[in-house]
Structure 1
């Protein structure tokens, strides 16, 4: 009888935890969303201002880099670790994420984009979410063993609040900390955090990316499966190569130029020249222009994905702040568009497959890549995204843009 009572108590405690954490997920989602709205509108303002100057702000890129490095060296301290801090807290290496990480990462990313560095935004969005949820979680001592759940909730809220894709945010946050493992204990609060963040961001006008593809009717047979497998292999190689190259380049840059000021100054000068010479800033900032061209049948050059690939890695390696995911979207979309004639799939559809699969391979996340493809381009294309993203994930072989991501399975 005592065993039955104890078992019932444990069940009630687990349900109580799930309900409380789910309610906290709503609070976390709403608070994180407000930060994402501020970050998103501020970032768009920086990008608009850059365009209004006709890319001449690229001249100031090395000096902006110097200020960013100075800011982090003197006041940011451990915040310079960025996303690595989130992984360290999850793994018990570090106890706290400092609150100053939020303003420093926002400011660094705004400046990097204002002056035209080829960087993204996703990493910052997730760091904002993780920091906010971590700070909130520390006030609930009863759930100290749920620190990873708070981190997952925060990351999901950050992703959903900026990209407006709550389903993808849930899966991405649940699988990114440990590749091959889903944090099912975090499912309920992560859902409430992601959907509340997406709702409030949508209320303030930050909507998810959506592209109207020309309806692609397909017959599922070997004639379609073979090119899909080929695309998966290609996208997996490119996504994995991006992750590997980013890690190697960062290490090489630090070895060649240990002084962060010298590294960002010289690197900023080189980046500014390259970004201006190569199509007058076409590869600056997030890369959303490349994504739009890929889906609206605009001008897409065969070398677009190569230039975005190299310049993003270079800018992040010399010290500019920002994310990697939006550039991965751009790389995948432009690559898919360019190789579509080879594989016999319409350009926009091939771009959509590249958009999702290169993202999945670069981040070493499986379900999130399939989900973002369906959430943005249509659930009717599930078979296509499933095959391409599955093959890309297998080909990648556990390489990730997140250096501290753990691997299992």
Structure 2
């Protein structure tokens, strides 16, 4: 009797860990493929941004026409892929069965066009959608019984990791983003493997990782913790406000201009004028120029940079242009951190780093991902500061998320 029970336990363990090992092995080629796509997408996007900055006066006036081209492509060939991250979340929650592979070229091409002609948008949503689409499609071809949304999560993690080269943050981001307050632990091992492989692959193909070496010291006495908590409140509110404003801006734009051509055309003309009038394209593209300025001693960050980037990114995405929100959120948080560092008495570069991470967390309603991003980009020695600020930001973001279909536990 004892032997039978032991045999049953051994067989169960073999099935459990054997299946986990096989899933981890399957994650390796997925990470390779997604990392390679991320490298192509990311390097092309950076080259496009540099070309746009050098020829802005000739490209920005055609932003509206570029928007019409994007709308035409999605209306003609996109089917339901125009839903972007909402489609990914519906598949993750089991409300949709699949994501068409046509999403990959459409989202990549649409984002390249948006950035070429000066739209203020990001790139993370693109990478996550690419990863989710490719991995979920591969998972449906493999003979796994009842994998659920595991392959989707593997792809989301790999897409994030391949683009930002932060595999730990990418792993926990995929595990926690579908349902706020709950972690999808069953995907932990294969998601981590795919993230590490994707990050290494994109790095080997020339996609550089953004890193900053900080030298500031962090005081964790009562005064220091209070200052960090205040920053968390500010960054959490700003992140939550970004998510709230984005959702309402999209609703308002759709109600005022139901026709996608009219919507993107009219708003595109207004954006061209605004983006050029406001410091000749300072707020175009990803916002990496603001991030670089925030972490470069002697560079200029204006007190209004964060709010200008905040508004123009929301308008760009509400119009229907393609791209993500995270890199603009990084730039919003970093420039806001510089602007308020003197008020809270914290080193400006450290304050910018805390804003970089916590504003992202506040806008995505995630806790662990921003903490790990902070550690992987700025150093694990600052873990206590990132933990305090991101935890407070998570509590004060008004439970809002840029991912409107994110569920709550």
Q: Same fold (TM over 0.5)?
A: yes
Residue-by-residue CA offset, 1:70-114 (whole Å, 9 max, x unaligned)? 000011111101111111111111111000000000000000000
Residue aligning to 1:57: 59
Residue aligning to 1:275: 275
8 Å contact from structure 1 (residues 137, 147) kept in 2: no
Matches within 5 A, 1:333-348: 333-348=334-349
Residue aligning to 1:293: 293
Residue aligning to 1:217: 217
Matches within 5 A, 1:341-360: 341-360=342-361
Matches within 5 A, 1:78-93: 78-93=80-95
3-state SS of paired residue (1:119)? coil
**Cα distance in 2 between the residues matched to 1:306 and 1:349:** 20
8 Å contact from structure 2 (residues 173, 366) kept in 1: yes
Residue-by-residue CA offset, 1:259-302 (whole Å, 9 max, x unaligned)? 10000000000111110000100000000000010010311000
> Are 1:135 and 2:137 matched, yes or no?
yes
Matches within 5 A, 1:11-90: 11-90=13-92
- How many residue pairs match? The answer is 406
3-state SS of paired residue (2:147)? helix
Residue 4 of structure 1 deviates from its aligned partner by 4.8
Matches within 5 A, 1:235-274: 235-274=235-274
**Cα distance in 2 between the residues matched to 1:131 and 1:76:** 14
Residue aligning to 1:394: 395
8 Å contact from structure 2 (residues 237, 398) kept in 1: no
Structure 1: unaligned runs, 5 residues or longer: none
Residue-by-residue CA offset, 1:308-357 (whole Å, 9 max, x unaligned)? 00000000001100000000000000000000000000111100000000
8 Å contact from structure 1 (residues 316, 322) kept in 2: yes
Moved runs in structure 1, 4+ residues, more than 3 A? 1-8
Residue-by-residue CA offset, 1:197-256 (whole Å, 9 max, x unaligned)? 11111111112210122x112332011011111100000000000000000110111011
3-state SS of paired residue (2:78)? helix
3-state SS of paired residue (1:38)? helix
**Cα distance in 2 between the residues matched to 1:217 and 1:241:** 30
3-state SS of paired residue (1:328)? helix
Residue 175 of structure 1 deviates from its aligned partner by 0.6
Residue aligning to 2:187: 186
